[in-house]
Chain A
Amino acid sequence: MTDITTQKDAALAAIAEAASLDALEEQRLDAVGKKGWVSLALKTLGGMSPDERTAAAPAIQAARAAIADALDAKKAALEAAALEAQLVRETLDLTLPAPGSPKGSVHPVSQVMDELAEIFADLGFAVATGPEIEDDWHNFTALNMGKTHPARAMHDTFYFPDRTEDGREILLRTHTSPVQIRSMLAQGAPIRIIAPGRVYRSDSDATHTPMFHQVEGLVIDKGIHLGHLKWTLETFFKAFFEREDIVLRLRPSYFPFTEPSVEVDVGYSTEGGRRVVGGHGDAPGHAWMELGGSGMVNARVLEFAGIDPNEWQGFAFGLGIDRIAMLKYGMNDLRAFFDGDGRWLSHYGFSPFDQPTLSAGVGARA
């Protein structure tokens, strides 16, 4: 009896001291392996009388259970220690940089065109397009600028040496207005469209580039007048700049394709060297800035576009997209728009997820 107890205590002590899984296995074999002393002791029970067996068995069984428990516990402890040691070895310097992924961007001109489309869609305007390589009939004649009209010469037009089959001059459109003509010819009245796109003038200096972007607006319906034009532009600018204090000033002007013609100014102030749209232009610290031309579509233009001016009338306007993009998003150099400088595109470009929506506000804040 004493012998079993002594052996058990010795085994438990050895198990407790086992420093590795191998050492522990040695102890397991030594005690409860096939030829271990506990196993051998258990075998001796078979040769005993029932009485002897009853007397000897509990001690042996108890020793076996105690050792098995001790082995399990020690094994778990050793494994946990080994895992912990392994994890320590696996420690990473997480201040090292993680792999990056390139960030793409949407050009401000595209972003603003999407904003325009979103705002004007709510007012019932579709987006129309037309060719950039135009003929002089669509670009000038149908817009009431005949061959000898002085305004033609003021357009700094890029011409091609080519002619159309019916002898029209071919040129780069100087404004988006020919899209008015094409849209009216194609779909008649009533019509509400905006036509954003590239336009070209042979003009290049610090604030002019030979290619730039315009958006044309056109509404032809019954009973449309200057008041509707004013409301439409006010409503657009309020939505575009997301502020209610937009004040427009209309000034009489001259465009051959509108009559009456009005120039549109917006009140602004200068904050931190930047123009900030809003407020009355005559208020202290404010001034007026020209934003674009507009007017009631000239009856002759309607006739050229196959629409009866006695039945229909409406307004048209043209705005510089690059310009309103600069005003809204703070760029100050038009030439940079067309440079493709990755640094500029990353800075002034927009996340692909800045999709303009009316519910979130069409603008994307920095």
Chain B
Amino acid sequence: MKFSLTWLKDYLETTATLTQICDALNAIGLEVEGVEDPADKLAGFRIAHVLTAARHPDADKLQVLTVDTGDGAPLQVVCGAPNARAGMKGVLGLPGAVVPANGMVLRKSAIRGVESNGMMCSVRELELGEDHDGIIELPADAPVGSSFADYHGADPVIEVAVTPNRQDCMGVYGIARDLAAKGLGTLKPITMPAFTAAGACPVAIRTDDPEGCPAFYGRMITGVTNGASPEWLQARLKSAGQRPISLLVDLTNYLMLGFGRPAHVYDLAKLKGAVVARRASAGEQVLALNEKTYTLNASMVVIADEAQVHDIAGIMGGQHSGVSETTTDVLLEIAYFDPARIGATGRKLGLSSDARTRFERGVDPEFLDDGLDLLTGLIAELAGGTPSEAVRAGSPPSQAKVIAFDPGLTLRLGGVEVADAVQKRILESLGFTVDGAWQVTCPLRRRDIEGPADLVEEVVRIHGLDKVASVALPRTEGVARPTATPQQKLERGLRRSSAASGLNEAVTWSFLPIWAAEHFSAPDQPLWVLANPISEDMKAMRPSLLPGLLIAAKRNADRGAGSSRLFEIGRRYFRAGNGLSDEKPTLGIVLAGEKAQRGWASGKAKVFDAFDAKALALELLEAAGAPVANLMVFGEAGAQFHPGQSATLRLGPKVVLARFGMVHPATLKAFDVDGPIAAVELFLDAIPAKKGAAFARPGFTPPALQAVTRDFAFLVPEALAAGDLVRAVKGADKAAITAVRVFDVFAGAGVPDGRKSLALEVTLQPGETSFKDAELKAISEKIVAAAGKLGAELRG
């Protein structure tokens, strides 16, 4: 809502300054979004008297003036306006002033060799109108030397944000009422221009939809002249950001902006028969005042005559019966529409208007007759014509809400003590009535008031929220208890472990382009796809964290980054069996570009490989408390990974804790990013929670005897996984063998075709006594035998 200070003062008798008014507006919940004070723009412009005017010696179209600015010696000013002449009074911009129209800072200068000490201004230069044919001519009595802003009566414009619950403040009068309640002045009664109604309204009015349009009041006025609006009306509308159109249209806008009361004026010549509020029939069309055609359906209320629809009720009128310069007879419409239906209609049509904004929040049901009379009186006064009696169909809601209020609630809920008498005064100043038993009757315009808490809000906002003192929340005794859940601790720990491993945490969009999401989704997992995405790139909820990270890595590479080590902890979005969201906490990692730059000691640059991914996966799973020693390496990392250089880490055959490996070249191509890229995904919901973990660790004493190591080199089938051999060897003597480590893998010269050599270092831990040669021999034999079952033979 925008309005000028003058307009506000039409309704509010006040001596408050602009600043006081703005502070009060903020304090009572009408947030001031901006104040435009034209006086600010006109600073440095003064009323000046032209003493002499002479032809510029070097320019035909310029004159050299001497002007009196009220103090000091007259100034010399060069001026190009044809109407500049000795004796006139005008507006002089002094050096330092900023021309409102173009932002130019005025300076003392020489124009074609003649000194000029300012600028005589046109209407357009001061943004006071369009005229630019000459400089402003002021009346002879204009006080020379005084500020032009003061003389002009520059009127500040205040813009407030009205919250959706306060329809009653969607007119300047409502704002004045709130300010008066706050103590900023006295609310003036509405001035009702007198008119004489002559005869009944000959136009029949009906509402055939009492639910959608409970009340439809009207009146005919014949013989009006629809010209331009008077200056005062135009000024008010302009301050609200409205362009004056014609007297009749401007007056309905004045009623709407001044009193929150939308109305409509039909050109009677364009109407045929009875005017009816009814539901539209499906497919019915109307060309609205915004020059667009809307197709309606049976849920929407319209105003129509026998021939056609003339108004999308409460939202926008139709072109056909709109008033024009030639209009002489009119029908006024003041109606009450069901707010919910107006909102629904507006949303369905995608049509916003000032009227809709008010009707969908609910206009004042008690302001139909007065609104109609006010509009009638203004039309009769300014456009002439003869009004008929009013005609009324239906009636607006009239049941006032009564709330049993306990003034003690203001302290209990609002936290501030306000004397009962003050509470009563505040409520009454806002239009509530309060009886002796604190039964509070709400004005019908306050649809937002639902219960006692709303009354507390009214009291507190007018009394002053600044008077609410801070009160400490009660706290439990002693040190605060830990509150984090195991899942939260897991994520926090993993985040810091990942960062400690040299990865940068990214936060990427939860939504992806469809192609990227599909690339990472399984066929049996339908994606969540937005019905109204903001762009094609943000359409499908991610089924994996990797695509977002790949896209980020690509951006980094495109910016010339040598490498990206990114991780993100976030959700993947799936569907649960019941159709609801199944959001799985996940950690994704992408390692792109160079793992190590070329170096004086290390030689060529190195790229990431699948073992970098494996190392991170295991390190982070261990940090997460997963039983890393029990994990098995399986395949099936997914089609997005290199089939021969990727794997899953599982706890048993089914529980997949992580996948890792090199990204498939086809995926790299799809994401248009250079490889090789390694990636990891940890499925945090699959990591088993630690059971019954206590602070005390299991008992442990380091063994007294030193461990011994023995090396074994086996020739094994080429296809045998090293992990299988290690597991077999570990199982050969579970008591003695504490570790088995592969330290060499070799195929080629000296190794038969179809075989490879795997060299293992086995750590043996003696118990109470050292191993005897025979024991070591027996263990070795068991190791060789266990390996033999996998087709491994000890190398000679």
Contacts and interface: CB of A to CB of B under 8 A. Distances in A.
Q: Do A and B bind each other?
A: yes
A132 B571 contact: yes
Given A121-B482, A127-B483, A340 B552 contact: yes
B29 A150 contact: no
Contacts of A43: none
B93 interface: no
A251 B164 CA distance: 16
Q: Which of A122, A232, A252, A313 has the most CB of B within 10 A?
A: A252
B473 interface: yes
Given A102-B565, A252-B28, A121 B480 contact: yes
B556 A226 contact: no
B502 A153 contact: no
A160 B575 CA distance: 13
Interface stretch (A10-18, A34-42, A56-64, A197-205): A197-205
A357 B668 CA distance: 42
Interface stretch (B228-236, B457-465, B632-640, B776-784): B457-465
Contacts of B549: 340
B414 interface: yes
Interface string A47-87: 00000000000000000000000000000000000000000
Interface in B335-374: 339-340, 343-344, 347, 360-361
Q: Is the interface of A mostly helix, strand, loop or mixed?
A: mixed
Interface residues of B, number: 104
Contacts of A249: 466
Interface stretch (A180-188, A260-268, A270-278): A260-268
A292 interface: no
B480 A124 contact: yes
A99 B602 contact: yes
Q: Which of A99, A133, A163, A296 has the most CB of B within 10 A?
A: A133
Chain A, interface size: which category? 35 or more
A313 B460 contact: no
Interface string A206-240: 00001100000001010111111111101100000
A206 to B, nearest CB: 15
B529 A225 contact: no
Contacts of A230: 415, 468-471
A260 B566 contact: no
Given A104-B501, A150-B164, A158 B530 contact: yes
B485 interface: yes
Interface in A286-338: 296, 298-300, 313, 337-338
A204 B504 contact: no
A159 B469 CA distance: 41
Given A202-B534, A252-B29, A340 B469 contact: no
Contacts of A343: 559, 561
Contact of B416 (A162, A226, A355): A226
Interface stretch (B421-429, B489-497, B643-651, B706-714): B489-497
Contacts, number: 274
A114 B504 contact: no
A340 B461 CA distance: 44
B506 A225 contact: no
Contacts of A338: 507-509
Interface of B: 26-29, 31, 163-166, 339-340, 343-344, 347, 360-361, 411-416, 448, 450-451, 453-454, 456-457, 460-461, 465-466, 468-476, 480-485, 488, 492, 495-511, 528-535, 538, 541, 548-549, 551-553, 555-556, 559, 561, 563-566, 569-571, 573, 578-581, 583, 596, 599-602
Task: Please list the 8 inter-chain residue pairs (A to B) with the smallest Cβ-Cβ separation, ordered nearest first.
Answer: A340-B552, A252-B29, A227-B415, A254-B163, A102-B502, A133-B581, A260-B457, A225-B415
Interface of A: 96-97, 99, 101-107, 109-110, 114, 117, 121-127, 131-135, 148, 150-151, 153-154, 158-165, 170, 172, 198, 200, 202-204, 210-211, 219, 221, 223-232, 234-235, 249-254, 259-263, 296, 298-300, 313, 337-343, 345-346, 349-353, 355
Given A226-B413, A230-B471, 18 more contacts: A102-B565, A105-B499, A110-B495, A121-B480, A131-B580, A132-B571, A160-B528, A164-B579, A200-B510, A225-B413, A228-B472, A250-B466, A251-B465, A339-B555, A341-B556, A342-B565, A343-B561, A346-B504
18 contacts: A101-B502, A105-B499, A124-B476, A124-B480, A127-B485, A172-B530, A210-B509, A219-B473, A225-B411, A225-B412, A234-B470, A249-B466, A259-B450, A259-B451, A259-B453, A260-B456, A313-B412, A340-B551
